[in-house]
Amino acid sequence: MDTLSSLADGFVIALTWQNLLLALLGCFLGTIMGALPGLGPSNGVAILIPLAFTLGLGATPSLILLTSVYYGAMYGGRISSILLNIPGDEPAMMTCLDGYPMAQQGRAGEALSLSGVASFVGAFIATWGLILLAPQLVKIALLFGPAEYFALFTLAFATLGGVASTNQAKTAFAAALGIGLATVGVDTQTGVPRFTFGEVHLYDGIDFLVAIVGLFALSEVFLFLEHRHGNAEANASKVSVGRLMPSFALLKYCTPTMLRTSLLGFVAGVLPGAGASLGSFVSYTFEKKLVDKEGTFGKGDPRGVAAPEAGNNAAAGGALVPMLALGVPGSGTTAVLLAVLLALNITPGPLLFTQQPDVVWGLIAALFIANFMLLAMNIPMIGLFTRVLLVPPRILMPIVAMVSFVGIYGISGSSFDLLVMVGFGVLGWVLRKLDVPLVPIILGTLLGNAMENNLRRAITISNGDWAVLVGSPLSIGLWSLAIIGFVLPIIFGRVLKARMRHMKKDEESSTID
């Protein structure tokens, strides 16, 4: 009851005209920033900080504006994933896998609205989780030492097989390539630069945003150039948009998926250092393992769109837990929000909830408001978004190239990153020709570093004793999950597939009869 009355107080703070307008502005700008490749939530929030300061906003209004941008960008990331097969930000990577095939089948409208609803469900559940569980959830984060983090990241890699079902060897190769790329940069455990060739731009490693935009967006442009060379009449413009709203049956069909993955994503978000990307990734692979009996994931299964979207938006809410309650950011965006809090003279930490309840509860109320606004704003705008599909590729692709270059240069202000991006574009083009999946590469660069560092931290702390890796019940649990996730599909996959083929044949013959 105490919580509910605090929440009511929070709504009193948040429900002023100024705050509502700020939330609306934030949601709108956030959606656009999320949809543009390269500009993700963290940059979106960072770009708008000066705006909040110039307007002379107080603590609560500033936070309302910036968290609306955060939630908005998490919504927006899916749009370009579905329409263009280019993730708007890194957590939206998994939405490409089923969202783009759906769009190609003429179900873009449905995919967009379904993912909008999934985003809403994920964020809604996560916000409730934040309210009810924040103080207790902090304890989960404290269960994770370096050994447990290593097990967690291994789990993510062990279930990689679920991402691309075509060729496991190619998936493994892609993941290894990603982990290899992650080793570039100064090694924090020894202070020694690795594979930097004396180039100071490489000291901090390869920025995965640059890698994503290069691999996904630029390679798309290269593919287009190759196919459409001298043949400007593109037939892709014939893609139909289909119905805009999902049928009630489809929503009902996807509801269990959304609920499960919201919980999963929320927990991933709560862990500092795991974040939304891991949230959407784990949501997708687990959901695939659980419900994908017919092998439709990756070919435009609506549940494959709902799962990562619910997961990554729930993780966005979850990441606020360690930021507010521990002062430890769970993701890049929360690191920026943390800086804003500090700049506003608010010290996050265990005492924030008791010392500055108006800020915390005003913020939480704003999250609810932003979430409803985003749903209300996104559904009618789907018609507008899908127009993108009607733009002929010969116009669209140069725009994609331009946005990629401007976006990356805008973030880092360095022409070196542009060269790296072009390099990744060429790499992406070659790998697509070889039918190597791109998602494991990004996952490798994203998590490889954290995985290696945690392994070495664990081993250093234990003075070289490898047994520490299975030293706690939690890590044993994670390892067993990883092993099951890795081994089961290998053993049972074939049996299952064979049986499935058999059943399908039976069905077909029975319908023929």
Partner 1 sequence: MTFKTTRLLLAAAFLGASAFGATAADFKPENPECIAPANPGGGWDFTCRQVGKTLQDLKLLDKTMQVVNLAGGGGGVAFAEVVNKRDDDNDLIVAASSATATRLAQGAYPGNTMDQVRWVASVGADYGVIAVAADSPINTLPELLDEIKNNPTSISVAGGSAVGGWDHLKVLIAANAYGIEDVRKVKYIAFDGGGEAVTQLLAGSVQAFTGDISEAKGFVDSGDIKVIAVLAPERLPGEFADFPTAKEQGIDAIGANWRGFYAPGKMSDEAYNAWVSKVSDLYSSDEWKAIMAANGLAPLDLQGEEFEQFVANSVQQIQNISKEIGIIK
CB of 493 to partner 1, least distance (A): 37
Nearer to partner 1, 26 or 109 (CB): 26
Out of 108, 134, 305, 328, the residue judged to bind partner 1 by CB under 8 A: 328
Closest to 221 (Cα-Cα) out of 35, 405, 434: 405
CB of 186 to partner 1, least distance (A): 6
Residues paired with residue 185 on neighbouring β-strands, in sequence order: 194
CB of 448 to partner 1, least distance (A): 14
Amino acid sitting at position 232: A
Q: Which residues contact 308 (CB under 8 A, 6 or more apart)?
A: 91, 92, 94, 95, 97, 261, 280, 281, 283, 284
Q: CB neighbours (10 Å) of residue 184? A: 20
CB of 337 to partner 1, least distance (A): 8
* Count of positions on this chain that bind partner 1 (CB under 8 A): 57
CB of 183 to partner 1, least distance (A): 15
Site string for partner 1, 110-149 (x = CB under 8 A): -------------------------------xxxxxx---
Out of 26, 27, 33, 42, the residue judged to bind partner 1 by CB under 8 A: 42
Out of 58, 135, 350, 383, the residue judged to bind partner 1 by CB under 8 A: 350
Angle between helices 2-14 and 17-35 (to 10 degrees): 90
Nearer to partner 1, 188 or 240 (CB): 188
Instruction: Please report, as residue ranges, which positions from 357 to 416 form the binding site for partner 1 (by CB under 8 A).
Output: 411-414
CB of 166 to partner 1, least distance (A): 35
CB of 339 to partner 1, least distance (A): 4
Helices in 198-247 by DSSP H: which ranges? 208-212, 219-228
Q: Do 237 and 392 meet the contact criterion of CB atoms below 8 Å apart?
A: yes
473 lies in the site for partner 1, by CB under 8 A? no
Q: How far apart are CA 299 and CA 275, in angstroms?
A: 26
> Which own/partner pairs from 180-188 qualify as long-range (CB within 8 Å, at least 24 positions apart)?
180/444, 180/448, 181/206, 181/211, 181/441, 181/444, 181/445, 181/448, 182/206, 182/444, 182/445, 182/446, 182/447, 182/448, 182/449, 182/452, 183/448, 183/449, 183/452, 185/449, 188/453
Nearer to partner 1, 76 or 272 (CB): 272
460 lies in the site for partner 1, by CB under 8 A? yes
Task: Tell me which residue has tokens 């002379």.
Answer: 56
Out of 99, 308, 332, 440, the residue judged to bind partner 1 by CB under 8 A: 332
Task: Tell me which residue has tokens 């499935």.
Answer: 500
Binding site for partner 1 (CB under 8 A): 42-43, 45-46, 49-50, 53-54, 141-146, 186-191, 198, 200-204, 272-273, 322, 326-329, 332, 335-336, 338-339, 342-343, 345, 347-352, 411-414, 450, 453, 457, 460-461, 463
